[in-house]
Structure 1
C-alpha cells in the first residue's frame, strides 16, 4: 500500500521495478516473470506506456534494434502469450488493441511513474524541506539504469531518454533546495561526481559552483567554471550559457545574491537544453521568443536561443509539436549528420526572424510570403494520425528526417497566422526584450515577462 497525492490510501495489485534490474513483486515477494531477456524487455516497454497502445511495429523495432528477423512477429506473439500466462494469476492484463498491445492500467505500482510523480510534486513545492523530502523518496527508487538487465544503452535512450533526464533534474532541484536550507556540504558531495560525469550540464555545474562558493571554496568554484568553459568551447564550439556566466560573474564580484540561489524563472531545462520560458501562449510565439539575463550584461533578450540543433528538436517536443519518440530519433540523426543538422538550424533561425517580422509588422508582406513558403513545404510532410484519446491530429511525418522540427514550427506559425488570436499578439517595446505574447482580454498594460526589468514609466506594450 502507498499514499496518493491527495493523502488517500491506494492498494496496488503488483509492483513493477524498472529503475535498475527488472523486478516484479506481489505483496512484497518476488515473482518470476519472463524467463527470457526479451520477454522482460517487452514487458518493460509496455509498462513504460501503461494504459496506452504500443504498436506491433514499434515493439518489433525496439526488441530487435531495428534489425528484426523474418520470424519477429511470430516470436512477439509467443512472448505476449507467455507473459499473459505468468501475469494473469496476479490480475495483470495485456490486451490486444488493433495492431498493438497495452498493459491495462489497473492500479499496479510502476516505479517509473511513481518517480515522475514525486519529481513533479517536488518541483511545485514552495518549502525546500518538503522538496528535499519528496526528492529523497524519488531518487531512492533508483537501483541502476532503466531495465539494467534487459536493455542496452542504445535501447534505453530510445525507450525513455527522459527518465534519465528527469533523474538529473531531480538531483538539481534537490541540491538547490539543500542550498536554501544551508546544506551546501551535502549538495557538494552529491553534485561533484555528477558534474564529472555530465560536464556539459550547465545547470548542474552552476548549482555546484554556488555550493562551493557558499562553502568558502571560491577558487574551486572558479576552477570548475574554467574547465567547464574549456570543454564547451573545445568539444562543442559554444560558450557557456547565460545562467552559468551569471554565476561566474557573481562569484568574481562576491555578489550576495548567491545567498539566494534559485533557478531563473525565465529558463526551462529539458534534456539538458535551455528553452524559452513559456509565456507566449502559442508554440509559434515561443519559437520567436528567447531567454536571457534581463537587467544584466549581454546576452540581452533577443539573443539567439537556438544554440544548436538539439535545442530545436527538444523544444519542438517540449511544446507538443512532435512526440518524444521523434525527439530521440532526431537527436540520434543529428549526431550522425551534424552538417545537415546545422543547415536545418540555419533555416530555423531564418524562419524565426521572418515570423517575428510578420507578427510585429502586419504590413510586412515579404516576411509573410517567406513564412507561407515554409508552411507550404511543411503541409506536404504532414500525416493525419489518431491520438490515444481518439482524436485526430496533423503531425509532421518522420520521413522528413532532420527537417521535422522545422516543418513543425512552420506549421504552427501558419496556424497562428490564420487564427483570429493573431490580432491579440502584444510585444514589449523595450529593445532589450521584445517579448511576444497573447493578450486576448486586451487589458495587459505591461510586459507579461516578470523578469523583463523595464521600468513601468516607459511606454506600455503595444499591439502587434
Structure 2
C-alpha cells in the first residue's frame, strides 16, 4: 500500500484510492503512526496531537475506538496496529511493498546530498521533490500541529530546491533553474541561496538587468523586514553580475565527450562496444571513486548510448525513452542493473580468473539470448535482433550479447586497462605497444565529464 502524507492524506492500493471511509481524526491518528513506522507512540502523545492538548474527558476511550476502526480498515491489506505498553505501533514491512511518501522523501534527500556527481544529485532531488504534493497532511492538521509533527519538512523542500538549482547550474542547465525558481522568487524573497541561483540563471540567459532587479528587490526586503543587508555570498554575486565577471559564464562542456541527443557521452576509445560500455565509468582505478566519473546518469543516457554504439536503432531508442518516462521506477531498476553488470563485466575483462564475475556476465548473456530472434536483413544476411519482450532491458541485453561475443574472440586477450589513477578505461591493443587509452590524460578529462 502507498500512503501519501505530503499534501492531502491518501492511501492507494494497486492504483486505486482506498480507506476513503476513515474519519478526519482517524486519518490523523493513522498519519501519526505512519510518521514513526514501527515505533510505539504513547496514548498520551496521541491524545495531545488529536485534540491539540485540549482533550475531552473520554479521550482514552475514544483513541481505543479509533484504533479498533483502523485495525478493521487495515486488516484486508495485511497491516496491523499493535498495542505496545501504553501506546500503539504500525509496522510497514518494505518487503510487502508498503510505502510512505514522507519516508521516501527523506531517504531520497539523503541520497541526493551524498551524491558527488551533479547529474546524479539532480536526479535524486527530482525524485524527492516529485513526491511533494503540498504541506504535510494539508487536509488533516493545521499549521501549529504540522510543526509539532515534523516542522522541518517544508524547510527540507526549500533547501532541496536550492541544492538542485546549484547542481543544475554546474551542468549548465540554467533554463531549468529559471523554470523551477522563477515562480518562487516573489513568494520567498528572503531565501538568499534561492535568489543567488536565480540571479545566476538569469545572467546566463542574457537577462542581466533582471538579475540586478532581483537583487535590488531582495536587498530592499531584507532591510525593511529583517533590518539586515544581503550576506557576503549574495553581495559578491551582485558585484560579479555588475562587472560581467567571466566566472559567471556557463560551465564548459566536459573534456573527451560527445553530445548525442542531449546527452554527454564519453569518446569511443575502446575499440569494441563491450569495452565502451565499461568506459562509461572513469576512475575505475581510484578508491573511492571520483565524483563526476559516471556517464550513465539516467536511463535515458543508457538508451542514447546504446543507439550511439549501434546496439539499438533510432526508433527503438525513442520508444525506450518514452517508456522510461512512463515507468520511472522500472527504468531506475534497469539502470541500477546495468551499472552492476558493468562492474561485473569490467572485473571479468580485467581478470580472466574471476569466475564469479564471468558467471554473472554469462547469466545476463543467457537472458539476452532468450530475448533474441534470428531475422533476415535487407543485406541478405541473418542478424540477431532483440524482441520487444526485452522491454527496458534492451540496452543491457544488447551490451551483454556484445560482451559474450568479445569473450569468445581472441581479441579478448589483447585488452588493456589505462594505468592512470583517475581512469582505468579499457582498450584493445593488438600490437602490445599502447600504454594509455587516449592522449595520456583521459582519466582526468573523463573524470570531470558532464
Q: TM-score range by the shorter chain?
A: 0.5 to 0.7
2:284 maps to what in 1? Answer: none
1:18 maps to what in 2? Answer: 5
The partner residue of 2:60 within 73, 77, 81 is 73
Q: Deviations over 1:24-77 (max 9, x none)?
A: 122333221552111111111111111222222222222212322222222112
Matches within 5 A, 1:396-435: none
The partner residue of 1:102 within 89, 98, 104 is 89
8 Å contact kept, 2:2–2:12? yes
- Offset of residue 168 of structure 1: 1.3
Note if 1:137 corresponds to 2:127.
yes
User: d(CA) in 1 for partners of 2:182 and 2:12?
Assistant: 35
User: d(CA) in 1 for partners of 2:21 and 2:228?
Assistant: 47
1:91 maps to what in 2? Answer: 78
Give SS of 2:52's match: coil
User: d(CA) in 1 for partners of 2:45 and 2:222?
Assistant: 36
User: d(CA) in 2 for partners of 1:235 and 1:23?
Assistant: 38
1:402 maps to what in 2? Answer: none
8 Å contact kept, 2:92–2:99? no
8 Å contact kept, 1:33–1:87? no
Give SS of 2:151's match: helix
User: d(CA) in 2 for partners of 1:248 and 1:58?
Assistant: 49
2:329 maps to what in 1? Answer: none
- Offset of residue 260 of structure 1: 7.4
The partner residue of 1:157 within 122, 136, 147 is 147
- Offset of residue 15 of structure 1: 1.4
Give SS of 1:81's match: helix
1:64 maps to what in 2? Answer: 51
8 Å contact kept, 1:53–1:97? yes
User: d(CA) in 1 for partners of 2:148 and 2:183?
Assistant: 25
Q: Deviations over 1:124-156 (max 9, x none)?
A: 222222222222222222222221221222222
1:128 maps to what in 2? Answer: 118
User: d(CA) in 1 for partners of 2:130 and 2:33?
Assistant: 23
Matches within 5 A, 1:118-267: 118-259=108-249
Give SS of 1:24's match: strand
- Offset of residue 252 of structure 1: 2.4
Give SS of 2:6's match: coil
Matches within 5 A, 1:346-385: none
User: d(CA) in 1 for partners of 2:32 and 2:161?
Assistant: 25
8 Å contact kept, 2:28–2:140? yes
2:357 maps to what in 1? Answer: none
Matches within 5 A, 1:241-320: 241-259=231-249
The answer to which structure, 1 or 2, has the higher relative contact order (CA under 8 A, 6+ apart) is: 2
The partner residue of 1:116 within 95, 98, 106 is 106
8 Å contact kept, 1:19–1:147? yes
8 Å contact kept, 2:202–2:208? yes
Number of paired residues? 248
Give SS of 2:152's match: helix
User: d(CA) in 2 for partners of 1:201 and 1:72?
Assistant: 42
- Higher Rg of the two aligned structures: 2
Q: 5+ unaligned residues in a row in structure 1: which ranges? A: 1-13, 262-464
Say if 1:216 and 1:260 are closer, same or farther in 2 by CA, change over 3 A: closer
- Which runs of at least 4 in structure 1 moved beyond 4 Å after TM superposition? none
Give SS of 2:197's match: helix
8 Å contact kept, 1:33–1:86? no
- What is the TM-score when the length of structure 2 is the normalising length? 0.52
How much is the aligned-residue C-alpha RMSD, in angstroms? 1.9
User: d(CA) in 1 for partners of 2:239 and 2:59?
Assistant: 57
- Offset of residue 19 of structure 1: 1.3
Give SS of 2:140's match: coil
Say if 1:156 and 1:253 are closer, same or farther in 2 by CA, change over 3 A: same
Q: 5+ unaligned residues in a row in structure 2: which ranges? A: 252-450
Give SS of 1:190's match: helix
The partner residue of 1:32 within 19, 22, 31 is 19
8 Å contact kept, 1:34–1:83? no
- What is the TM-score when the length of structure 1 is the normalising length? 0.51
Q: Deviations over 1:166-195 (max 9, x none)?
A: 211221122122212222122112101122
Say if 1:58 and 1:233 are closer, same or farther in 2 by CA, change over 3 A: farther
